[in-house]
Every structure is written in structure tokens, then in C-alpha cells.
């Protein structure tokens, strides 16, 4: 084997855009955004686990849909589990054929989504690589606790990457481009999903003058933005923004 890969499977979300979009951009909740960030940071490749479409590549164009795992009867659950399992087997075989060792498959989804698929051996029958379910094995509670855990893992991996030497030089973290700026361009980068009424914010952006220059800490891979109020004035979400085109979170 020439090298190894980690695959991350990210559960889809109920809140969606109202028009077709690449799958990675179709789901608009903060929860999905955080799982996506984890997948893009920790994984070498990632796929989206959809009740309507089974496994989906992030760039595949999808129309909005309403199907959830709770809508599927026993026959449709059987079919979904079979499709997911066979898609994984095909993906693994393709990678192994290229000389790639699959180190781990990480699945990020809630119990209500995973339990029917695990009962039908979607992630085990004919699948050799280790498959892990960290949101369950770490006994994480609600979405807030899960997002906090994901953020910690993302920050730890990002900090480690700053210490890696690649191609003869030190890895440069994207947030270093913000370090020292006194004025920043900011836009709300995530959707808001509540249990009763999903909504999406896609309109707010501003130029913010900071009280002091932005400061990047390479040990924690975090950026401090003195004077920036971490709350979108349009939708009220207090966690995730694009700063100078870079996703920044204060959840850690």
C-alpha cells in the first residue's frame, strides 16, 4: 500500500436551501456545518449520508427534498442500508485498487439515523476497515455538546498541522492571514436550525473595525478578534462567520 486514507460520513440535515445546490452547500444548519468542517479537517475524503440519496459526494448537485430517516418504512430502510453498504464496499475496493489503505471510516450522525442502518449491518457486512461512531461512543448528549466535541477535535488537528513540516517548510495556517488585521470583512456563514422552525441567514455582511489587531495563536489554532460581537444582527446566531473569506468559529 502506498498511503492511507480516512473517510468521514456526515449525516445530512433537515434545514436546506430552497433551490438546487452542491450537496455540501444544500444543508444549512450549524450542526451540519460543524460536521462538514470536521470532515474536511480530519478526513482525507468525505461523503454525505442522505435518507433520500444514500451516500452522496459533496459536489453532487441536489434538489431540495423533505425525506428523513423517520419517513422510511421497513422496506425502504432495508433498501437504504443495502445501498449504503454496497456503495461503501465499492468505494473501498476502488481505493484499494489504487494502492490506498483505508485506515478508518468515521460516521457522524445521530442515533435515530444510525440505529436502523447499523441494525441492518450497513457499516459492517463485507466492510474490512474499522468503522467508528464517535458521537455515540463518547456518550455525547445534545447537539451543543456534540458541536463542542467536534470543535475541540478540529482545533487540535489544526494546531498539529501548524507544526508539520511539508515540502521543506512549515505549514501555514489559513488564520495567519488574519493575524494583525485591524479591519476585517465579516459575513454570517451558517444557518440556524431550531427544533420547531428552521431558518437560513444568507444576507448579512459588514466591515468591522477591531478594537485591537487580530491575534492568531499557533498553539491552539484560534484567532482573537477584539471588539467583534459574535452575533449576527440578522439571525442572531453567535458562533460561526466567514472572516476575510475564512470560516471562523468561537465554539471551542
Domain ranges across the chain? 3-161, 169-249
The percentage of the chain sitting over the pLDDT mark of 70, rounded to a whole number, equals 86
Locate all alpha helices (DSSP H) within 101-196, ordered by sequence.
111-119, 134-137, 143-161
Predicted local confidence at residue 137, as pLDDT = 86
d(CA 42, CA 64): 28
Q: H or E stretch including 101?
A: strand 100-108
CATH level 3 topology of 3-161? Rossmann fold (3.40.50)
Residues near 13 by Cβ (< 8 Å), separated by ≥ 6? 27, 28, 29, 31, 32, 193
| SS3 category, 67 | coil
C-beta of residue 151 within 8 angstroms of C-beta of residue 160 = no
- pLDDT tens for 98-150 read 888 898 999 999 888 899 999 999 998 888 889 999 988 887 778 888 888 88
d(CA 224, CA 163): 20
- pLDDT tens for 5-28 read 999 999 998 889 989 999 999 998
C-beta of residue 138 within 8 angstroms of C-beta of residue 38 = no
**Predicted confidence band of residue 166 (pLDDT cuts 50, 70, 90):** very low
Q: Which position has the grid cell 430552497?
A: 18
User: What does the pLDDT average to over 158-172?
Assistant: 58
Amino acid at each position: 500500500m502506498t498511503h492511507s486514507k480516512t473517510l468521514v460520513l456526515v449525516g445530512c440535515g433537515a434545514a436546506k436551501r430552497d433551490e438546487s445546490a452542491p450537496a455540501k452547500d444544500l444543508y444549512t444548519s450549524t450542526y451540519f456545518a460543524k460536521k462538514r468542517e470536521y470532515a474536511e479537517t480530519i478526513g482525507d475524503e468525505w461523503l454525505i449520508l442522505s435518507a433520500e440519496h444514500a451516500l452522496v459526494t459533496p459536489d453532487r448537485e441536489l434538489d431540495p427534498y423533505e425525506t428523513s430517516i423517520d419517513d422510511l418504512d421497513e422496506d425502504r430502510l432495508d433498501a437504504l442500508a443495502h445501498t449504503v453498504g454496497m456503495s461503501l464496499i465499492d468505494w473501498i475496493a476502488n481505493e484499494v485498487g489504487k494502492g490506498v489503505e483505508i485506515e478508518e471510516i468515521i460516521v457522524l450522525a445521530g442515533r435515530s439515523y444510525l440505529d436502523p442502518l447499523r441494525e441492518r449491518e450497513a457499516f459492517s457486512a463485507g466492510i474490512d476497515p474499522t468503522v467508528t461512531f464517535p458521537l455515540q461512543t463518547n456518550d455525547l448528549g445534545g447537539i451543543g455538546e456534540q458541536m463542542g466535541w467536534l470543535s475541540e477535535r478540529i482545533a487540535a488537528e489544526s494546531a498539529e498541522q501548524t507544526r508539520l513540516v511539508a515540502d521543506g517548510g512549515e505549514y501555514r495556517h489559513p488564520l495567519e492571514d488574519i493575524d494583525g488585521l485591524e479591519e476585517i470583512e465579516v459575513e454570517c456563514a451558517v444557518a440556524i436550525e431550531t427544533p420547531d422552525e428552521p431558518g437560513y441567514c444568507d444576507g448579512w455582511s459588514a466591515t468591522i473595525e477591531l478594537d485591537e489587531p487580530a491575534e492568531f495563536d499557533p498553539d491552539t489554532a484560534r484567532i482573537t478578534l477584539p471588539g467583534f460581537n459574535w452575533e449576527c444582527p440578522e439571525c442572531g446566531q453567535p458562533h460561526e462567520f466567514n472572516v476575510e473569506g475564512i470560516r471562523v468559529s468561537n465554539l471551542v
